[in-house]
Structure 1
Amino acid sequence: MGARSDARSALLMSPPVTDPNVPNVARMYDRFLGGKDNYEADRAAAAEALRLNPDAARCARQNRAFLGRALRFVAEPGVRQFLDVGTGFPSMGNVHEVAQSGHGDARTVYVDYDPVVVQHGRAMLSTDEHTAMVEEDLRKPGRVLEQAAGLLDFGRPVCVLLVACLHFVTATEDPSRIVKRLMRSTAPGSFLVISHVIETPKTIAAVDAYQGASAPVLLRTETQVDRMFTAAGVELMEPGLVRVPSWRPDLDHALAEEDAARVDFLGGVGRKA
């Protein structure tokens, strides 16, 4: 624990750096979820995204709900370790809260490359010895794994979460390579959770709102997202790769399908044999 405490203390010394005049994708997402960690530039960009795609906020809310259902699903067979990469700003139903609601000793490492997100995460998420916030870029999966190993035991199953972040990774940066590298270091019985915005007329229109923001949005097809699970060497769990409202919905299936028709986010959970 001494080395881990020293590492956490060193991380806490990093001051936040931000430009409130540049729309930030994490803060725009926070705005869609009804959060307060955003500036006027973020609110203006989010408003433009909503003008171009009136279902943008619905997509964010449904994606967050999918995260909660996926967490409960993977915890059921006994997974007690979670690596949340590209976590974004804290919100309701954070990973460690859901994980610890059933198992108080569940361990969670949050990862984000945005120093302001990290600062918020250290203050609001990293509140006990089982939870840590790491400043690192998902495009460098080896370094992500190295940092996470301070708290997680990769000799035991881990749930790797890449929720609403891979659509900010370009083709050159190769999201499938990133996913493959992360899962290669996990033990059998580990899980992979991915959600990703897909290419539709509405999302194509809304991409313009992200011009000049902190990261571009890369739309992909269902086939391209499915290939990420294949590259990771995991088996998709039922119901497969679907619109996030349709993934094991808590509510009436007819209502879930009605939402699914408007939500251009795919989600899936894979298991490593």
Structure 2
Amino acid sequence: MKRILLFLGTNIAVLVVLSVVLNVIMAATGIHGIQTQSGAINFQGLLLLAAVFGFGGAFISLLMSKWMAKMSMGVQVIDQPRSQSEVWLMETVQRLSREASLPMPEVGIFDSPQMNAFATGATKKSSLVAVSTGLLHGMGKDEVEAVLAHEISHVANGDMVTLTLIQGVINTFVIFIARVVGHIVDRAVFKSERDYGPGYFITVIVTEIFLAILASMIVMWFSRQREFRADAGSAKLVGRGKMIAALRRLQAEYEPEDMPGQLAAFGINGGKGSGLRKLFMSHPPLEERIAALEAMR
């Protein structure tokens, strides 16, 4: 329930902010709406709307990602280590960050019996690396070190920003094309002349759903490639054997719990899948990741 309320609240807030921004930009540029006075498409206005909501939504989500992670996953940031385990965790992240030429990220722990971890944050200087209690208790130190190196590699590779840019481009494309299709259907099929009728809005919704499904496949493909890179980065930081051992340990785990939004793309364990479901997975299957590491030179 907490995650649902956070999701609804933040999305409503984002829509309000982006609506205000769009109106300000339109007033400043003299662009008025997505239709001309004759009822034709105002491509400048439509592109502006699509870009503001497409990129704006993606970047606001990125800026809020660390706060959302702490709230939705219940991450407890370690300010002062209270146990030997937390001391080791902080020292390991500090060492790996130094080796990856990164500023020290915030380090946190979230309560979950599942073995998982994630990295998030808008920039390399404001990142967060968090691990589950299940991972700390279920893995050996070498394996946990490999997982931490994997998450540090995500930060070093700039994966959060890269996927945000990809998501922004795709969001813009979906919003723009859906409204062009809606306009054509409304004029050609429903014979509207000026104001859009119900046919336009129904067509836009159906088209957006269809395009969003296709778009998610593209985003998830990029996410899976980034996962291979993060595995390779971990292998370079701590050794291929440790990363392979960590992945093999994950193979024995149950299906991991879902993590909200962008966090799923940067978790260590993306679950199991095959066939059509594989196209929508943020992570490659563990056996493919292990095979890629074994093939590394």
Whether these two folds match at TM > 0.5 is no
Structure richer in strand, relative to its length: 1
Give the greater-gyration-radius structure (CA): 2
Task: Normalising by structure 1, report the TM-score.
Answer: 0.29
Task: Normalising by structure 2, report the TM-score.
Answer: 0.27
Structure richer in helix, relative to its length: 2
